[in-house]
Amino acid sequence: MKIIKVKDQVEGAQKGFEIFKEGLANDAKVFGLATGSSPIAFYQKVVASDLDFTECTSVNLDEYVGLPAENDQSYHYFMKENLFNKKPFAKSYVPNGLASDIPAELKRYDQVIADNPVDIQILGIGQNGHIGFNEPGSSFDSNTQEVQLTESTIKANARFFENEADVPTKAISMGIGSILKAKKIVLFAYGESKAEAIKGTVEGPQTTDVPASALQLHDDVTIIVDEAAASLLSK
Ligand code: GLP
């Protein structure tokens, strides 16, 4: 794993931007995208640039079950607001959290991933080490799955909702196995609340207790962290 320590999200965004730019120059066509606060500065940097994705495809990690795309807390909405409205892709895929047949939706999304192998995957990380919405216990070879969100994730994500009771309890997430198929992975983590998860990801044993520790199995992972998120790393 390559660890890049940055002073803040703006510097982190710049590093991520350079990786995207180089990817595009080397013919990357499919970009795996993430939501959450950690990639926002990065998307702003991309939006402000002249990078062109009109011949590219994006595949998002996850979506809450039960939120329509128009709901301002849905990940469909987040992606439109933060990126797609200003930097359109030829085709953008996000799981459908309103699917009436969830098993069929999981299968459909696995097919999307199989048809569009990801060149560069962006990730954030949950305080409990989740990637996408793959909570502790998710197997490292999982495909797209429906996930029951843990109490700690619901609490952590409640900051974006009016009330904690409004946070959906389930999500559809690309699996860890699918994430690991990306050619290149870039993870952003900022702040002290991520320090434990980053230590487990980088130095801990490979364990499903810390889903992101699966990234140790991949040979092209860049972790962009600030001082606080890196504070528990020994090296
Ligand atoms: C959610 C998303 C993850 C994201 C995580 C961390 O749970 N499903 O993809 O990494 O939040 O979010 P933040 O970057 O806001 O801390």
Looking at ligand 1, which atom is closest to the CA of residue 193? 16
Check residue 33 and give its pLDDT: 98
Q: Residue ranges of the domains in the chain?
A: 2-195+202-224
Contacts for 99 with CB less than 8 Å, ≥ 6 apart: 105, 172
Q: Give residue for tokens 């700690």.
A: 152
pLDDT at 235 over 80: no
pLDDT at 55 over 90: yes
- Does the reported pTM lie above 0.85? yes
pLDDT digits (tens, 9 = 90+) for 85-128: 999 999 999 999 999 999 999 999 999 999 999 999 999 999 99
Name the residues annotated as catalytic.
62, 128, 130, 135
Tokens of 155: 């609490």
Rounded CA-CA distance 235/232 in Å is 9
pLDDT digits (tens, 9 = 90+) for 164-212: 999 999 999 999 999 999 999 999 999 999 999 999 999 999 999 999 9
Range 42-55 average pLDDT = 98
Q: Does the C-beta of 41 come closer than 6 Å to ligand 1? A: no
Q: Kindly report the CATH number that applies to the domain delimited by 2-195+202-224.
A: 3.40.50.1360
Q: Does the C-beta of 12 come closer than 6 Å to ligand 1? A: no
Q: Does the C-beta of 32 come closer than 6 Å to ligand 1? A: no
pLDDT at 74 over 80: yes
Compute the distance from residue 187 Cα to the ligand 1 centre, in Å.
11
Picking from 37, 177, 166, 56, the residue whose alpha carbon sits closest to that of residue 106 is 177
Range 147-155 average pLDDT = 95
Percent of the chain with pLDDT over 90: 99
Q: Does the C-beta of 62 come closer than 6 Å to ligand 1? A: yes
